[in-house]
Structure 1
Amino acid sequence: MRNSTDLAAAVESVVRVFLKMAGGVSPPAPQMKSALVLLSLFLAACSTPTAVRPAAEPKPEKAKIKQPSPYDSEFWKTWSDGQAEVAAYDLIMPKYGQLRRGTAIAITVAESFSKSAMVKADPGKHASSDVFAAIKLNLIRSYQTGIYNYKDMLSAFVALDEVNGRVPGMAAKITYSSQEWCGQVFSELLFSGSTVHQTRHSYFDGEADMQRSLQNAEEALAEDTVMLVARRIGWPRLRLGQRYETQMLTSLEAERSHHERVSYVPAAFTLAKERQTTTVPA
């Protein structure tokens, strides 16, 4: 069973920025820690588990020295088996001026990813040069607002290799969908070098179909990857006591809730100086 006892403390110390936006998983306040449930389970991925290995190191260019990968053998000892980790949370979600209660399920797994198709790469279908290792986070949230039931799903793919000149640990792809009684919404972000490409389909008038590109701020983070940053999987892999200030691309859920396009905002991330361990039932 994977060791996820540090997850609650890490999320609590780093994910505060995430919660300033429209939605997110509420960090476990002291009085709520008994409600937090982490299920460190080994589950098969969506298809037959396939071992994931870091991509072979390409030959360095003469004008550029390739930095060593931040993902060492200990990291791959945990994540290279093709098995998924599942964590269940009590959810507190701000909606229509009130805090709504619900559930959130986070599924985290390493996968091989195709640069050209920007999807999970099936074994043997792509050239090795077209495949890189990625961590996928699926976050599924369900909550009630009166008689309305809301369900949404976020999928965030973080590259574990250098892809398109972006350092390991940065977002490669993010998708978001929302389903409720009025209708449904789907939005996708594809990160290609210095550009972010967005596609959106919505039942709202004026938002029905949209495609646009925006400049990707250098070394910017995506709010939708903050849970992976909290676990020191996503970039930057903060050290204990480290504070990091950067630009952050707001979440697709916030775009949906506020009907405002995703944009870059200043953000600061801090990892507590001392490691804290929380014991939870599993």
Structure 2
Amino acid sequence: MKKHLTMAILLTVAFGCEQPNSSSISYPASEVFHHDWAMNKIWEDGQAEVAHYDAEMIVYGKVRKFDNAYITVKEEFNKDFNVKTDDYQRDDLFSVMKVNKFGRFETENYPYHYLTSLFFKREKPEQLHKMTHTGQEWCGNTFKQFELTASGYEYDYNSYFDGYGDGRMAIEGTDLIWEDQLSYLLRATKFKDGLEFTKQVVDSQINTKTRKPKIYDASFRVSDRDSVWHVELALEQDKVNTYTFNKKYPNLLQEQTTWYGYNLKLNRVSRYQYWR
């Protein structure tokens, strides 16, 4: 179902937020994001944007601090295999933006490794085309893959958990927003102080669980914080995330805080061919 933006008073009733000033405007959902955001020539230079964040996650009831690398780069996919192509003479190629998120941290018992790969067609930053996630620790491996279909997403999974060892399920809705894509998608926002909109948001998949994803009827609010754009995401009344972005293109994520403790603060960023 096509979502429309809510008026500020609806947000006040639903989430207990302060009512924005009278300059806030309700926008059609189609006007929220720049569909040409990833068409900028910066992404044609053959290099990747590699951003390192000082990160925190709560595991076993304790805060774990680690380096979280976010890698953003343009690639060419082929439709036949829906992966990066090796043959650039094919007639079924299309451009995607890849966002890889890698993190490794220690616990008292053993280390964790996470790698999440997200792919978007360049002209559709709001629609996840494909996502894979792997998690490794001493208990075992977890693999998850979400691929866009005509009606939603096909979810394939494999893990060491009883009941979710090996299987697949369908997730309905092609206009879903995934929490794990927000570090990329929100960079393409048509930023404006007081902008508010609603969207169904799928909870983060950066974990070792393969349970059925939870989908929230969520609300977004944008505010101008002098040097950065601030975005508040209310999943539920007591589940609020915040994100801040640089005002200058390419609008890099500066900080992230989540209700469950996955927090980020930009440490450094550079552009280079990390695969060499």
Q: Distance in 1 between matches of 2:46 and 2:108?
A: 40
Check whether the contact 1:238–1:271 (CA below 8 A) recurs between aligned residues: no
Check whether the contact 1:240–1:275 (CA below 8 A) recurs between aligned residues: no
Letter in 1 for 2:112: Y
What whole-Å deviation, never above 9, does each CA across 1:130-187 have from its counterpart, x for those lacking one? Answer: 22221100000111221321110000001113xxxxx554110000000111111110
Letter in 2 for 1:195: G
Check whether the contact 2:118–2:130 (CA below 8 A) recurs between aligned residues: yes
The partner residue of 1:78 within 22, 42, 46 is 42
Q: Give the structure 2 partner of residue 43 of structure 1.
A: none
Q: Distance in 1 between matches of 2:169 and 2:77?
A: 23
The normalised TM-score by structure 1 is 0.64
Q: Give the structure 2 partner of residue 179 of structure 1.
A: 136
Give the aligned CA root-mean-square deviation in angstroms. Answer: 2.4
Q: Distance in 2 between matches of 1:193 and 1:132?
A: 18
Could you say if the C-alpha distance between residues 229 and 271 of structure 1 is closer, same or farther in structure 2, counting changes exceeding 3 Å? farther
Q: Give the structure 1 partner of residue 204 of structure 2.
A: 251
Q: CA deviation at 1:280?
A: 6.2
1:230-249 to 2 correspondences below 5 Å: 230-232=186-188, 237-241=189-193, 242-249=195-202
1:157 matched to 2:112: no
Q: Distance in 2 between matches of 1:225 and 1:264?
A: 14
Q: Give the structure 2 partner of residue 222 of structure 1.
A: 178
Q: CA deviation at 1:122?
A: 2.7
What whole-Å deviation, never above 9, does each CA across 1:103-148 have from its counterpart, x for those lacking one? Answer: 1111110111223311112343531xx2222110000011122132
Q: CA deviation at 1:270?
A: 2.9
Identify which range, 259-268 or 97-106, moves more after superposition: 259-268
The partner residue of 2:168 within 193, 211, 225 is 211
Higher strand share: 2
Q: Give the structure 2 partner of residue 271 of structure 1.
A: 222
Letter in 1 for 2:88: G
Partner-residue secondary structure (3-state), 2:56: strand
Q: CA deviation at 1:281?
A: 5.7
Partner-residue secondary structure (3-state), 1:124: coil
Q: Distance in 1 between matches of 2:101 and 2:133?
A: 9
| Stretches (4+) displaced over 4 A | 277-282
Q: Distance in 1 between matches of 2:50 and 2:197?
A: 28
The percent of aligned pairs where both chains have the same amino acid is 28
Q: Distance in 1 between matches of 2:126 and 2:80?
A: 19
Unaligned runs of 5+ in 2: 1-33, 229-245, 247-253, 255-265, 270-276
Letter in 1 for 2:212: R
Q: Distance in 1 between matches of 2:161 and 2:268?
A: 42
Partner-residue secondary structure (3-state), 1:252: coil
Check whether the contact 1:142–1:150 (CA below 8 A) recurs between aligned residues: yes
Could you say if the C-alpha distance between residues 179 and 104 of structure 1 is closer, same or farther in structure 2, counting changes exceeding 3 Å? same
Counting matched residue pairs gives 199
Partner-residue secondary structure (3-state), 1:272: strand
Q: Give the structure 1 partner of residue 51 of structure 2.
A: 87
